[in-house]
Amino acid sequence: MEFARNKTVRGIDLYYEHYQNPDAKETLVLLHGFLSSTFSFRHLIPLLKEDYNVISVDLPPFGKSGKVSSFKYSYENLAATVVELMKSLGVREFNVVGHSMGGQIAMNILLHHPEYAKKGILLCSSGYLKKAKLPLVLSSYIPYFQLYVKFHLARSGVKQNLQNVVYDHSMINDEMLYGYLSPFLEDDIFKALTMMIRHREGDLSAEDLRKIKAPCLLIWGEHDKVVPVMIGRKLNKDLRNSELVILKETGHLVPEERPEDVHQLINGFIAAEETAEATANGSR
Residues assigned a catalytic role:
100, 252
| Residues 77, 175: Cα–Cα separation, whole Å | 32
| Residues 243, 220: Cα–Cα separation, whole Å | 11
Q: What residues does 221 pair with on adjacent strands?
A: 247
Concatenate the DSSP letters of all residues of the chain into one string.
-EEEEEEEETTEEEEEEEE--TT-S-EEEEE--TT--GGGGTTTHHHHTTTSEEEEEE-TTSTTS---TTS---HHHHHHHHHHHHHHTT---EEEEEETHHHHHHHHHHHH-TTTEEEEEEES---SPPPPPHHHHHHTTSTTHHHHHHHHHHHH-HHHHHHHH-S-GGG--HHHHHHHHGGGGSTHHHHHHHHHHHH---PPPHHHHTT--S-EEEEEETT-SSS-HHHHHHHHHHSTTEEEEEETT--S-HHHH-HHHHHHHHHHHHHHHHHHHHHHHHT-
Report how far apart, in Å, the C-alpha atoms of 264 and of each of 33, 47, 118, 174, 270 are.
21, 9, 19, 28, 10
